[in-house]
Amino acid sequence: MLLKRTRTCGELRAAHAGERVILNGWVDTRRDLGGLIFIDLRDRYGITQVVFSPQDNARAHAAADALRGEYVIGVEGVVTNRSAANVNAKMATGEVEVRVHELQIYNAADTTPFEIVDDTKTNEDLRLKYRYLDLRRPSMQRNLILRSKATILVREYFDRHGFVEVETPVLMRSTPEGARDYLVPSRVNPGTFYALPQSPQTYKQILMVAGMDRYFQIVKCFRDEDLRADRQPEFTQIDVEMSFVDEIAVQEMTEGLISELLRETIGVEVALPLPRMTYQEGMTRYGSDKPDLRFDLAFTDFSDLVKDTEFRVFRQTVADGGAVVGFVVPGQGHLGRGMMDRLTEKAKNEAGANGLIYIKNMPGEVFSSVAKFVPEDVTAAMVRASGAAEGDLILILAGRKPDVYAQLGTLRLSVAQEFNLIDTTRNALLWVTDFPLLDFDPEEKRWVAMHHPFTSPKPEDLHLMDSDPGKVRARAYDLVMNGSEIGGGSIRIHDPAMQRKMFALLGIGEAEAQEKFGFLLDAFRFGAPPHGGLALGLDRIIMLLTGSRSLRDVIAFPKNQRAVSLMDNCPDVVDPRQLDELHIQLKPGL
């Protein structure tokens, strides 16, 4: 018989003393004193101590002897104030306990493969296999609950601003460009395949042509690429598109959402508008298109200062069009040879640099690792240019552009971590703008879209489209938080001629463009409004809001690094009859 609960395990306080209550939940811990049994009863709202005493009910006390961890039970009893000495200040419900008169054991539980505790050190594959146990841990429940609050807030926000949530197909056509598609065979149309959306990009643009004006969707996207701590094959986007807007309008709308999310979920206030930084500045000052601005370590370009020195690495690098760039590490000028050798190894192994040059700006002595080749006055000028204070260390790389920036950017992150320079209490949000429209793929020897093929070029760069496509900037923008890309978008092309031109630049011929994207080009012929939008990575945002180290901690049922779901063991082989129906024959050897 069900003891139907009247209260949860998180809500009882001294004010409830005397109330007859029924609680349901899991046995968290058991403290059996023989004549007296204490059970911490847990549900997702909290933990309440319940007491089995022969004086209250001998039968219940006897039955409680059988209780073990993770048994699911119901108890009926009376809320009682604890004596002052027995109050547990560490528990929200620590002022009271429930003295039990009746116990129902709904379900016994085997000993769990790992303990249900918050600070678990258990291997992740075991946690994933027994995900239902892992999700009983309060920290995981907090993550899922925060995620739920966040998505409700997102819907409420966009509704308030006149957006319409429209569902787009999960079965769509496979398109060239971008990530590898997940394919779904069509039984009805032998030999043809759907693809799962990498994003609903074309649909939301079509919705703009349809006049929906303001669209959003919280939507699953799929990309068949290798996994990372912050990358899952299926992930959730907050997808947004607006008509008759420029980039500022999209960014302002997004900022409003993000600041509300931070305020309502973790109580953090963000100053708006968010800072903007061009891609160019991000790369040359921080070596990244998603700079982590929770710490400084901004770059100084020494190329002009050192281009005439005898030191070949400096002179030759600059002569070849490369750069000599460095950053100041505050207060680390005292580091010894061993540590500097270690940093040099990092620069080589992690960042891929050829070597590391450094200057220690110590009181009375400015030590340069290349003092033999670089005159003192040049070194002094470098110290001045860098803004280094006494006691600071300057790390310098020389190399080809743009590689040297990326290398120094990697070193910057590594050094920040090494010397604990990241202020984790801060939340550094910014927009990175003016991305290049195109990126040259040396393997395929062709231009590829840096954002996607529907991104509009900046009008002032249009004249470069034919002569120097790599120099054309896009009306694209990324939202960056703490060194993590949490969103990106652009003002789109809405002119069929421009869209054709873009396809042509990407090496997509007229025929292929018509075949793969004909519906979009057609749509643009029938009155397409100027439009733009962006997509936010919901999982990553929740990861940052909860301080999680992995995306897997904010997704209820994630895949491991091999894209396998360990709990239900998928993907898996299927019955040959299913393959027959789908007209699929496996390659020999599989």
Partner RNA sequence: GGUCCGGUAGUUCAGUCGGUUAGAACGCUUGCCUGUCACGCAAGAGGUCGAGGGUUCGAGUCCCUUCCGGAUCGCCA
List the interface residues with RNA, window 98-117 (CB under 7 A).
111, 113-115
Angle at CA 404, nearest 5°, toward 456 and 324? Answer: 120
Task: Quote the least distance from Cβ 398 to RNA, whole Å.
Answer: 20
Q: Shortest distance, CB of residue 553 to RNA, whole angstroms?
A: 10
Of 401, 394, 432, the closest CA to residue 288 belongs to: 432
Distance between CA 571 and CA 557 in Å, rounded?
Answer: 14
Residue 120 C-beta: closest distance to RNA, Å? 7
Q: Cα Rg for the chain, rounded, in angstroms?
A: 30
Instruction: Output the six-digit token pair for 276.
Output: 């903007």
CB of 188 to RNA, least distance (A): 26
Residue 35 to residue 396: CA distance in whole angstroms: 71
- Contact segment (CB under 7 A) with RNA among 85-93, 142-150, 250-258, 360-368 equals 85-93
Contact with RNA (CB under 7 A) among 22, 166, 448, 464: 448
Q: Which stretch binds RNA (CB under 7 A): 17-25, 181-189, 268-276, 443-451?
A: 443-451
- Report if residue 234 touches RNA, rule: CB under 7 A: no
Indicate whether 86 belongs to the interface with RNA (CB under 7 A): yes
Residue 369 in the binding site for RNA (CB under 7 A): no
If binding is defined by CB under 7 A, does position 289 make contact with RNA? no
Contact flag: residue 94 with RNA (CB under 7 A): yes
- Per-residue binding string, RNA, 469-508, x by CB under 7 A, is ----------------------------------------
Among 77, 322, 453, 532, binds RNA (CB under 7 A): 453
Q: Which stretch binds RNA (CB under 7 A): 24-32, 182-190, 272-280, 422-430?
A: 24-32
Stretch that binds RNA, among 86-94, 147-155, 397-405, 422-430 (CB under 7 A): 86-94
Residue with tokens 């001629």: 497
The least distance separating RNA from the CB of residue 218, rounded to whole angstroms, comes to: 16
Q: H helices within 387-495, ranges in order?
A: 403-418, 464-467
Per rule CB under 7 A, is residue 88 in the interface with RNA? yes
- State the DSSP H helix or E strand holding residue 87, giving kind and residue range, or none if neither: none
221 alpha-carbon distance from chain centroid: 14
> Shortest Cβ distance from residue 12 to RNA (Å)?
13
Out of 2, 4, 18, 33, the only residue in the binding site for RNA (CB under 7 A) is 33
Shortest CB 408 distance to RNA, Å: 15
For residue 92, what is the DSSP state? Answer: T
Among 13, 62, 118, 123, binds RNA (CB under 7 A): 123
Q: Does 10 bind RNA (CB under 7 A)?
A: no
Dihedral, CA of residue 378, residue 381, residue 385 and residue 390, to nearest 10: 110
Q: How many residues bind RNA (CB under 7 A)?
A: 64
251: left (phi over 0), alpha (psi -120 to 50) or beta: alpha
Q: Spell out, one character per residue from 48 to 77, where the chain touches RNA: x when CB under 7 A holds, - when not.
A: -x-x-xxx------------xx--------
By CB under 7 A, residue 564 contacts RNA: yes
Q: Read off the amino acid at residue 258.
A: I
- Based on the shown chain and the rule CB under 7 A, indicate whether residue 434 belongs to the binding site for RNA: no
CB 549 within 8 A of CB 230: no
Residues 82, 51: Cα–Cα separation, whole Å? 11
- Assign 464 to helix, strand or coil: helix
Distance CA 263, CA 513 (A): 45
451 forms part of the interface with RNA (CB under 7 A): yes
* Cis peptide, bond prior to residue 138, ω within 30 of zero: no
Minimum distance, C-beta of residue 406 to RNA, in the bound complex (Å) = 8
Q: For residues 557 and 341, what is the distance between their CA atoms, to the nearest angstrom?
A: 43
Q: Cβ closer to RNA: 382 or 476? A: 476
| Cβ pair 239, 217 in contact under 8 A | yes
As given in the structure block, the two tokens for residue 570 are: 């998928």
- Name the residue among 586, 584, 519 with its Cα closest to residue 189: 584
Burial zone of 324 (CB within 10 Å; 0-12 exposed, 13-18 middle, 19+ buried): buried
**Among residues 357, 385, 354, which one has the least CA distance to residue 372?**
357
| Shorter beta-carbon distance to RNA: residue 32 or 246 | 32
**Minimum distance between the CB of residue 94 and RNA, rounded to whole angstroms?**
6
The runs of H, that is alpha helices, within 337-386 are 337-349, 376-386
CA distance 555 to 233: 12
Q: Which residues contact 96 (CB under 8 A, 6 or more apart)?
A: 12, 13, 14, 16, 17, 48, 79, 80, 81, 82
- CB of 484 vs RNA, minimal distance in Å: 11
Between 91 and 268, CB nearer to RNA:
91
Distance CA 226, CA 563 (A): 8
**Residue list 517-556, contact with RNA (CB under 7 A):** 550
User: At its nearest, how many Å lie between RNA and the CB of residue 438?
Assistant: 9
CA distance 259 to 264: 9
From residue 169 to residue 208, what is the string marking binding to RNA with x (rule CB under 7 A)? ------x-xxxx-----------------xx-x-------
Stretch that binds RNA, among 118-126, 293-301, 386-394, 463-471 (CB under 7 A): 118-126
Q: Is 122 in the site for RNA (CB under 7 A)?
A: yes
- Burial status of residue 374 (CB atoms within 10 A of its CB: 0-12, 13-18, 19 or more): buried
Q: How far apart are CA 581 and CA 222, in angstroms?
A: 25
Position 90 contacts RNA (CB under 7 A): yes
Residue among 383 and 566 whose Cβ is closer to RNA = 566
Pick between residue 344 and residue 560 the one whose CB is nearest to RNA: 560
> CB under 7 A: which stretch of 5-13, 26-34, 245-253, 520-528 binds RNA?
26-34
Query: What is the contact surface with RNA in residues (CB under 7 A)?
Result: 29, 31-36, 38, 40, 49, 51, 53-55, 68-69, 82, 85-88, 90-91, 94, 97, 111, 113-115, 121-126, 175, 177-180, 198-199, 201, 223, 225-231, 439, 443, 448-453, 550, 560-562, 564
